[in-house]
């Protein structure tokens, strides 16, 4: 079994998967053919459902990759703006092109750089009307015509980047969101490794497992958050901000 859910059950669930746009289906097929990691189909369906229910106006994504999840969220929520951060230059450049190709460059702002550093810069903005961070990271949407993003708090955060840094990502994100915001983290069960050492027989992922377990302990015991862990995709945590 390669998934945290029985393969036959997952195949059945994915049989009901419906892409938001034809272009997204093509985007997914291309990424899967090239073996580029993007959100799984059941993760996408769940993410779309909670995004639709919460109706965020501003989404922060940590870990753009080539832009599939940012494109999905922007397509699912036509009135929403997305700011997404990616540190890898090639992935960032491809994400920019994908936003332009999909007609989303005016609502998806792709930033290149270290997520912790960029979020610290965003949090340091005193007037919080516009993000003025062009000197220290590349603002790709300026290249594709998007206006600067208004500096209001984010109300939805999607974390899907370096698993060992989830705790740091969350703490930085907490400075950029308000009460009632949702924080969704992907891959928290790490193909079952987080739950049981037997799924990492060689110990190759020992450090990542330890840090992910500490992260889950943190978010489930943090009184600022209401958190649930779900066996969707590769494991998803959903946290609602009570207060900060």
**Mean pLDDT for back-to-back runs of 10 residues, the chain (244 residues):** 74 90 96 96 96 96 98 96 97 98 97 95 61 50 43 91 96 94 96 88 89 97 97 96 80
Q: Which residues contact 243 (CB under 8 A, 6 or more apart)?
A: 179, 224
pLDDT of residue 203: 84
Range 239-243, long-range pairs (CB < 8 A, 24+ positions): 239/182, 239/183, 239/184, 239/185, 240/180, 240/181, 240/182, 240/183, 241/174, 241/177, 241/178, 241/179, 241/180, 241/181, 241/182, 241/183, 242/179, 243/179
CATH of domain 7-241: 3.40.50.150
Contact 241, 179 (CB under 8 A): yes
pLDDT of residue 130: 46
pLDDT of residue 125: 67
């Amino acid at each position: 079994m390669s998934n945290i859910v029985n393969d036959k059950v997952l195949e059945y669930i994915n049989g009901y998967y419906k892409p938001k746009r034809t272009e997204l289906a093509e985007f997914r097929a291309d990424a899967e053919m090239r073996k580029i990691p993007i959100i799984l189909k059941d993760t996408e369906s769940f993410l779309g459902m909670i995004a639709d229910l919460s109706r965020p106006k501003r989404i922060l994504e940590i870990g753009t990759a080539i832009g599939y999840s940012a494109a999905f969220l922007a397509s699912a929520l036509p009135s929403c703006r997305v700011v997404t951060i990616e540190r890898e230059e090639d992935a960032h450049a491809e994400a920019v092109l994908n936003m332009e190709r999909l007609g989303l460059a005016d609502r998806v702002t792709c930033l290149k750089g270290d997520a912790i550093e960029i979020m610290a810069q965003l949090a340091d903005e005193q007037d919080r009307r516009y993000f003025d961070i062009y000197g220290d990271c590349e603002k790709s949407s300026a290249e594709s015509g998007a206006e600067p993003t208004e500096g209001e708090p984010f109300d939805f955060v999607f974390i899907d980047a370096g698993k060992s840094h989830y705790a740091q990502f969350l703490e930085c994100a907490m400075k950029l969101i308000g009460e009632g915001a949702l924080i969704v983290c992907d891959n928290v069960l790490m193909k079952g490794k987080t739950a049981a050492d037997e799924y990492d027989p060689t110990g190759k992922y020992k450090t990542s497992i330890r840090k992910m377990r500490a992260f889950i302990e943190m978010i489930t015991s943090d009184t600022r958050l209401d958190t649930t862990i779900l066996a969707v995709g590769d494991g998803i945590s959903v946290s609602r901000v009570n207060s900060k």
